[in-house]
Amino acid sequence: MYLKNNDFKSIDTLSSKIRGYINIPRVLNALIQNKKNWNQICSSMDVLEDTTYAISSYINEDLFPSDDGLKYIYIYGLLQALFLQQDSLKHLTCALLLINEKDYLVNEELEKIRNIRNESIGHPTNKGGGKSFHYISRITINKNGFDLLSSFSDKDDVYKEVKIIDVINIQLKVIVEDLKKIGKKLEKNEMDHKNKFKEIKLVDFLKSSDYSIQKIFEVLFTEDEGRKSFYISLIEPLKNNYLKIEKELDEREILPNYFWNDELEKVKYIFDSLGDYFTDNQRNFTSNDMLIFLSYLRDKNKELLEELKNIDEEYLN
């Protein structure tokens, strides 16, 4: 009896879930730092999905060739797809969970399937350095499987019925369970990370920033030395709060990030320029320069507050 599509759908759903975690900017930033590991993840994800499509087509297509040569092509292709699907699962697991390949535990059922592939089409003419030799019985080949004759140097020949549909059924269930384990591990990693920072609200660093920026604006138009001194004193604390935000983003592994790196560099430049203007003004800024800088800072501050609010919300979910 042929498989229903439930396992194929589960693999598709779980693959999408894993891709979702991989593409979280913080996670993605960390993964792409190791080019070898990142390439292994990308290749493994693609091969896992591609082989699943191939196996699904084998199951769901009613046609099976009557030509003997094409029968072999179908069987060779299906067994190789199962073999590659196992490899992709192994390499994806090792790359995502940072497991050394020699420490990867192969499922016993998958090992049996792998051995079927090796005996049938992998090393049939000389397996194990002359220990065994294998033959697919042509007249038994059909969509459901085939008979395999195995000859050994030190024991009697063995006939084995290979039930392809059962083999696929077993492998897909193992693939689904292992992908679930990967997904749960990635989910736990993400929740642990969020729990570490969720009590620290990034928006709190800028909760009085609108007031401070407005007062810094006013310093350009006041002749009152007391007010001027007070307004100027607001620059350094606001600058420090932006530096704290940069530090928090870095600790959350959100940096490096094109948007944040670019915007924070602009904001820091404005604060450095304000500091220069209100001290020795070595760069010969004018009050109009400061108006332009502060206008940009006011608008950018509102935009960044919204972005910080979004990050805070993400850490609560």
Q: What was the pLDDT predicted at 29? A: 86
pLDDT at position 1:
38
User: Within 10 A of 125 (CB to CB), how many other CB atoms are there?
Assistant: 7
Rounded CA separation 216/294 (Å): 8
pTM: 0.84
Please report the pLDDT score of residue 162 as a whole number: 97
Which backbone phi and psi does 135 adopt, to 5 degrees?
-140, 130
* pLDDT value of position 2: 43
Q: What pLDDT was estimated at residue 4?
A: 53
Residue 258 burial class via C-beta count within 10 angstroms: exposed 0-12, middle 13-18, buried 19 and up:
exposed
Check whether 225 has a pLDDT greater than 60. yes
Q: What is the mean pLDDT of residues 132-155?
A: 94
pLDDT tens-digit profile of 241-285?
Answer: 999 999 999 999 998 888 999 999 999 999 999 999 999 999 999
Q: Which residues, 6 or more positions from 99, have their beta carbon under 8 angstroms from its beta carbon?
A: 93
307 CB-contact burial (10 Å; exposed 0-12 / middle 13-18 / buried 19+): middle
Write out the two tokens for 308.
Answer: 């910080």
Q: Is the peptide bond before 256 cis (omega within 30 degrees of 0)?
A: yes
Query: Which letter, b or e, does each residue of 38-53 get, where b requires 16 or more Cβ atoms within 10 Å of its Cβ?
Result: bebbeebbebbbebbe
> Quick one: pLDDT at residue 3?
47
Indicate whether 83 pLDDT > 90: yes
- Name residue 86's beta-bridge partners: none
Q: Over the stretch 274-294, which tens digit does the pLDDT of each residue have?
A: 999 999 999 999 999 999 999
pLDDT digit string, tens, across residues 116-131: 999 999 999 998 888 9
- The mean predicted confidence, pLDDT, of the chain is 94
Predicted confidence at residue 130, as pLDDT, reads 87
> What is the pLDDT confidence band of residue 210, given thresholds at 50, 70 and 90?
very high
Is pLDDT at 203 greater than 50 in this prediction? yes
The whole-number average pLDDT for the span 31-57 is: 96
Residue 6 pLDDT grade (very low, low, confident, very high; cuts 50, 70, 90): confident
Residue 147 predicted with pLDDT over 50: yes
Q: For position 5, what pLDDT does the model report?
A: 61
Q: How far is CA 178 from each of CA 68, 142, 211, 228, rounded to the nearest angstrom?
A: 36, 30, 54, 65
Please say whether the beta carbons of 81 and 54 come within 8 A: yes
